[in-house]
Amino acid sequence: MSVDVPRRNDGFVWAVRDTLAMIGRNLTVIRRVPQLLVFSFVQPLIFVFMFRYVFGGAIKVPGGSYVDYLMPGVFVQTVAFGAINTAIGLAEDKNKGLLERLQSLPMSRSAVLAGRVLADTIRNVLIVSLMLVVGTMVGFHTHTNALKVAAGVALMVLFGLALCWLFALIGLAVPNGEAAQAAAFPLFAPLVFASSAFVDPRTMPGWLRWWAERQPVSIAAKGVRALMLGGPQFPMDYVWASIAWSLGISAVLAPLAVRKFRRT
């Protein structure tokens, strides 16, 4: 009598199990090297204190206090910066030969990338939670209810997950972690610094303002402000626009990243 053994590459259940295994592996690395979490927290912390106490007095924004305007932008910047870890982690795994070994196993190919992206998303949730506490300490106040604040957190996490797929593609295209950092920054800088994360785009030159008002980081920051601050200057349309950006980025780049991994 023969017994049919399910092939591990077939079926949604096997893919989920493989993904959970990869999430556990990547979170174990963070637990064993807590400095990874600490450094991810220090960078946005520096931005908070720099813009709150050094530049904040000279920056005028619509809708009230600068710290209330600033913190949603910092939250979005935090998940964007955290997404770079996806590129670095995958590039290092590739450099060490781990990705090649994983490809030789009877497991879902998409689970390797999904496990990395979701583990980094969990790390983003932890960092954003800490930044919410920091925001309260420096005077940040939400002006909506708890449900909308939670929705704001979910919105920024969804955006961070989408960016993880972008940086996953970069990580697979470069030979090591140093190259991943070097390749990620030219994308990260215009997305974060030429945006409405820290300042009102209306103060920018016309050509730069056009970009700053329409690019995904600005839309995400405005969406978080709409949910956490409310008011006519931040309509809910930005929430739906941010969701559309996040889903669109993921829908396009996730399959490309998986395809790149299969060819690596």
For the stretch 143-179, pLDDT in tens is 999 999 999 999 999 999 999 999 999 999 999 989 9
Please state the separation of Cα 176 from the chain's center in Å.
Answer: 21
Q: What does the pLDDT read at residue 11?
A: 66
Q: Which of 108, 92, 150 is nearest to 23 (CA)?
A: 108
For the stretch 38-83, pLDDT in tens is 888 888 899 898 888 887 767 777 767 889 999 999 999 999 999 9
Q: In this structure, are residues 194 and 211 in contact, taking their beta carbons and an 8 Å threshold?
A: yes
The Cα 54–Cα 196 span in angstroms is 18
Q: Which of 129, 117, 182, 121 is nearest to 153 (CA)?
A: 129
For the stretch 58-67, pLDDT in tens is 777 776 788 9
Q: What does the pLDDT read at residue 227?
A: 96
Q: What does the pLDDT read at residue 31?
A: 84
Q: Say if residue 232's pLDDT is above 90.
A: no
